[in-house]
Amino acid sequence: MKIVKYDAIDNPQSIKKPTFRMIPENKSSPEQLSQINVRWCNVFADAVEEFNRRHGYTMKDIDVIGSHAQTIWLLSMPEGNQTKSALKMAEGTILAARLGKTAVRNFRISEQAVGRQVGANDCILWRVDVAASEDSEGVSE
């Protein structure tokens, strides 16, 4: 496979601001986590649709959506009683339902489960080639 198109689509402040508020305090309610999770799904789906508009593709050109999701909390080097873990937002089932395509995600925790630290990048799998779609790490900028 090869990259045939690449584009970076900025994440809107409307999702960055509430996400940033959750992280430094290390306090969030289940309601906040649930809302942010669904909002990130919509941001990623919007990015796929924008990518298609910019480059002349349609959802018919896409077989599978791959999403790294948005990292909210990453503990790669646990200390003491901590457990290696990752909290990602942007539930794949919602992304799949909105775009009408299979969505594959949870790369980071899958990598941690087998002892690695680096997850796969976001991508859209096209019928033959690969094209990157969204800047999922935008919140960490």
Domain 3-140 has CATH 3.30.420.40: yes
Per-domain boundaries in the chain: 3-140
| Cα 106-10-35 angle, rounded to 5 deg | 55
Residues 94, 22: Cα–Cα separation, whole Å: 22
The one-letter amino acid at 99: L
Supply angle C-alpha 15, 18, 21, rounded to 5.
Answer: 140
Q: In terms of DSSP bridges, do strands 62-66 and 102-104 run parallel, antiparallel, or are they unpaired?
A: parallel
- Give the model's confidence band at 125: pLDDT under 50 very low, under 70 low, under 90 confident, else very high: very low
- 34 vs 134, more confident: 34
Q: What is the pLDDT of residue 134?
A: 39
Spatial separation of the C-alpha atoms in residues 43 and 3, rounded to whole Å? 22
DSSP string covering the chain: --EEE----PPPHHHHHHHHHHHHHT---HHHHHHHHHHHHHHHHHHHHHHHHHHT--GGGEEEEE---EEEEEESS--TT---EEEEES-HHHHHHHHTSEEE--HHHHHHHTT--PPPPPEEEESSSEE----TTGGG-
pLDDT at 53 over 90: yes
How confident is the model at residue 116, as a pLDDT? 63
pLDDT band at 118 (very low <50, low <70, confident <90, very high): low
- Tens digits of per-residue pLDDT, 62-108? 888 888 788 888 888 889 999 888 888 888 899 999 999 998 877 66
Contact yes or no for 103/67 (Cβ under 8 A) = yes
What pLDDT is recorded for position 75? 83
> Residue 64 has which token pair?
């599978």
Residue 120 has pLDDT above 90, yes or no: no
Top-confidence residue, 128 or 64: 64
Say which residue, 101 or 23, is predicted with more confidence: 101
User: With bands split at pLDDT 50, 70 and 90, how would you rate the model's confidence at 1?
Assistant: low
pLDDT in tens, 32-42: 999 999 999 99
